[in-house]
Amino acid sequence: MEIDKDRFVELVAELSGENFFKCYQCGRCTAGCPLAEYMDAPPSKILRMLQYRDEDITKVESPWVCASCIVCSVRCPRGVDIAAIMEALRQVKQRYMPDEIKYSPKVSYDMPQIAMVASFRKYGRW
């Protein structure tokens, strides 16, 4: 099923229940994220992509790296639950873009353990 970027962003907002327009790009979420260096787009960039309805938001793989540790959500001065947004991104990608998701985790042994556990948990459909 093909989905356009505008509908993709609407579904993320609906599923997460968050207003990502409250984010003013302070960067505290990315600074606190233990896995930001392993993401193709860190949390603050994902929020900016959602705000601008950037077409590349449908291609990011950062939600699969996210450990859902909620550090980003706790550190946000505006109260944006970024962990909920990441979970919504995963749900929308699984539902509407299953062919683009690679169901084998991108695990490397130089990753932090929490990243490996999160990756196996999110890809664990064997």
For residue 21, the enclosing domain spans 5-123
pTM: 0.79
CA distances to 6, 26, 77, 78 from 64, rounded to whole Å, are 21, 23, 25, 24
Task: Quickly count: other Cβ atoms within 10 Å of residue 82's Cβ.
Answer: 26
The pLDDT assigned to 123 comes to: 60
Domain harbouring 115, CATH code: 1.10.1060
The pLDDT assigned to 20 comes to: 92
What is 51-73 written as a DSSP string? HTT-GGGGT--HHHH-----HHH
pLDDT means per 10 residues, the chain with 126 residues, are 81 94 96 92 96 91 89 96 94 78 53 65 53
Provide the domain count of the chain.
Answer: 1
